[in-house]
Amino acid sequence: MGVLQGRVAIVTGAGRGIGRAIAHKLAREGASVIVSDLDADPATATVAEITAQGFEASEFVGDVTTPGFAEVLIQTTLDRYGDIDIIVNNAGYIWNSTIQKHSDDQWQAMIDVHATAPFRILRAASHYFREAAKKDTLAGRVHCRKVVNISSVSGIFGAATQLAYSAGKAALVGITKTLAKEWGRYNITVNCVAFGFIETRLTQPYDVVPEKIDVKGQQLAVGLPEANMQHMRNSIPLGRAGTPEDAAGAVYLLCIPESDYISGQVLVCGGGLTG
């Protein structure tokens, strides 16, 4: 039995990359996982992979930036599993350009997905969390619930061409630190993992074949020039980019009972990168 046996976890953006690795990690350790993703096919595939290994997961498809999404996500989780123990706010993407090319739509899109969506999800969960904490107290139970928000070193140190992205990720750090103060009385820890250079489809080199993602019908180029990527690798003390599994491991540390007295913290998962 894993250390998260009996726990229920929500992971947004769990169909691909880091989110997929997080969903797999939590499920392997015993959690029942809601695999939330914008796209049905990768969400279904992730759930199929997890259940084929004998673990529990189910999908929830939708756009985290849509008003009303958060309330339906929370209620669906409660209807399926009866509890919520872990929320990982991971969904997001990058849309880079220098400030003179930053449009209002670009700015708002980054704020919406990286700050507003997590805010709405946590606000929707707050009603259940408060009542669950009261029931735990009356029953004499000590039950620690967990929130892990996914930020970036760009939100801490800044990054050229990532003004809106950095602003959204910095906002998520503020959300983390504020809710850690508000929710401590409910025995909820709220922490943040700031990723450095993790190899996913969003950070692959685009010099040869540019990768594009579909966001609300708009095709957005993602990735980085190979020269930039090599520079980043050279600046990492461990000498390599991280893998999605490395990233999942950092999130896992903040979901297990051993971290029950850690809250309001930002853990940089960047191979020693310090800015």
Assign residue 195 a region: left if phi > 0, alpha if psi is -120 to 50, beta otherwise? beta
Q: Rounded CA gap, 196 and 269, in Å?
A: 6
Name the catalytic one among 81, 93, 128, 165: 165
The DSSP code for 212 is E
Q: Are 26 and 203 a contacting pair, CB within 8 Å?
A: no
Q: Rounded CA gap, 27 and 223, in Å?
A: 29
Q: Which amino acid is at 181?
A: K
Q: Rounded CA gap, 179 and 122, in Å?
A: 9
For the beta carbon of residue 176, count every other beta carbon within 10 angstroms: 24
Residue 128 annotated to the active site? no
Q: Rounded CA gap, 36 and 23, in Å?
A: 10
The catalytic residue positions are: 165
